[in-house]
Homo-oligomer: A and B are copies of this chain.
Amino acid sequence: MYTASQIKNVFQDYLLKEKFSAAPASLYDPANYILSLPAKRARPLLSLLAYQLFRDELDEALPAALAIEVFHNFTLVHDDIMDEAPTRRGQTTVHKKYDLNHAILSGDVMLLYAYQYLMQTSYQDKTALFQHFNQAAIEICEGQQMDMDFEKMLDVQIEDYIEMIRKKTAVLLGVSLRIGAMLGGATPEVAEKLYQFGTHFGISFQIQDDILDTYADPDKFGKQVGGDIIQGKKTYLFLKTRELLVGEERADFESAYYGDTSDKVDRVKQYFRDVNAKEYAVQVRDAYHDLAFSYLNSLNLDDLRLEPLLDYTKGFIKREM
């Protein structure tokens, strides 16, 4: 059995070995570029950790883990176009380094290779494997579209926001775990519980992300604290505060949030405080977190088997702020 960081090394070596070498280079260079950027590799790691709950030799599970990481990077390339993002992982995004056309087409071919890698698994019931992967992939597109739609909508409900982050981010964590478990020989029921663990964990993680963006220790946080507020992003904190305010107060809060006064962050944080937005967010985050781990615990797995996955997921959500 391996720890998460050992598994990451195994995966990184495999990723390097499987670098695209086909022609034309103009198509595959951007794909190799985005895959070469330093990254956490959270999704393939979760997949391999789930596999390791049931079986030891990782080799069998590597092509599927690669499929998941290549798929994830396809979404990053296309999302960065849509979000007009200049940087990703501290480096130039694909559409800025190359151009729009290269980013579109390289993204497309990465998506096709994700299926190619998934086919390389020796799993018997390929249809089941593809169904789960494909369902997740479709939901991820739907989540990205919802996210873009929400930017233009004035009245976004919290339940719709949760559904958006579930689709856009959480289902890929869920299906990574599910596929790892399936390849490891888990029953459909057990694989389903790991999927539920992953999706609930993912939602919890996203809400934590919203909280940290406003309340993180600036010395420990990689980005600018308050960035979401400055950009007027529809986060959990914003949506909850908006929901709890009425009439003129809501209107004032919205105009502060979408405005750009110099004291914007402080003013918005005062509104958050007035309605206890952070406490609500922490509560919902913890509810999803606990629900996630209740799915995991219900599997009654051997503690020793479970340790690498537990260690990794506990490190993933740092509660201290």
Question: Contact residues of A with B, CB < 8 Å?
Answer: 22-24, 26-27, 78, 81-82, 100-101, 104-105, 107-109, 111-113, 115-116, 119, 126-127, 130-131, 134, 137-138, 141-142, 144-146, 148-149
Contact = CB atoms under 8 A, between A and B. Distances in A.
Given A23-B142, A27-B141, A145-B27, A112 B134 contact: yes
Contact of A27 (B82, B137, B142): B142
B134 A130 contact: no
A134 B112 CA distance: 7
A82 B109 contact: no
Contacts of A130: 115, 119, 126, 130
Given A24-B149, A27-B142, A109-B141, A104 B82 contact: yes
Given A115-B134, A119-B131, A141 B104 contact: no
Quick one: which of A101, A126, A127 has the most chain B CB within 10 A?
A101
Nearest to A27: B145
Nearest to A118: B130
B134 A24 contact: no
The 3 A-B pairs of least Cβ separation, nearest first, read A27-B145, A109-B141, A82-B101
B146 A24 contact: yes
A152 to B, nearest CB: 10
B109 A108 contact: no
A101 B115 CA distance: 24
A112 B137 contact: yes
Nearest to A135: B116
Nearest to A24: B145
A27 B24 CA distance: 31
Contact of A119 (B24, B116, B127, B137): B127
B78 A105 contact: yes
Contacts of A82: 100-101, 104-105
A152 B35 CA distance: 27
B112 A141 contact: yes
A27 B141 CA distance: 8
A144 B149 CA distance: 30
Contacts of A146: 24
A264 to B, nearest CB: 27
A134 B108 CA distance: 12
Nearest to A130: B119
